[in-house]
Amino acid sequence: MRIDQLLNKLCLTKTRSIAKTACDKGLVSLNGKTAKASAEVKDGDLLIFRLYGFEHELRIDKVPGGNVAKKDATEYYTLLSRKELSS
């Protein structure tokens, strides 16, 4: 699954276009490398993104097959760290 779709489906961004823009600006990295919006995400990948005033580090436990209910979104990833970004 594309990284911009994943961020949106797991309710980590409000819209897919926000996720795509974040990728275009270099705010998203996948396994230590800056990710394009079209980058494919697999189970076990490490994802870091800087949005909404925080830097989030996640491990993708499983990639969803379709739409995900908001209450079930956290079953697909493990939050490793969340740091507030300095202004």
Tens digits of residue pLDDT in 55-70: 999 999 999 998 999 9
- What is the arithmetic mean of pLDDT over 64-83? 94
Q: What is the mean pLDDT of the chain?
A: 94
Span 13-32, average pLDDT: 95
Q: How many residues does the chain have?
A: 87
Whether 84 and 53 have beta carbons less than 8 Å apart is answered as yes
Q: Say if residues 39 and 6 touch (Cβ distance below 8 Å).
A: no
Instruction: Give domain limits for the chain.
Output: 3-84
- What is the C-alpha separation between 41 and 47, in angstroms, rounded? 9
pLDDT above 70 covers a percentage of the chain that reads 99
Segment 19-25 shows an average pLDDT of 95
What's the token pair of residue 58?
A: 């996640």
Q: How confident is the model at residue 86 (pLDDT cuts 50, 70, 90)?
A: confident
3-84 CATH fold: 3.10.290
Q: What is the mean pLDDT of residues 17-41?
A: 95
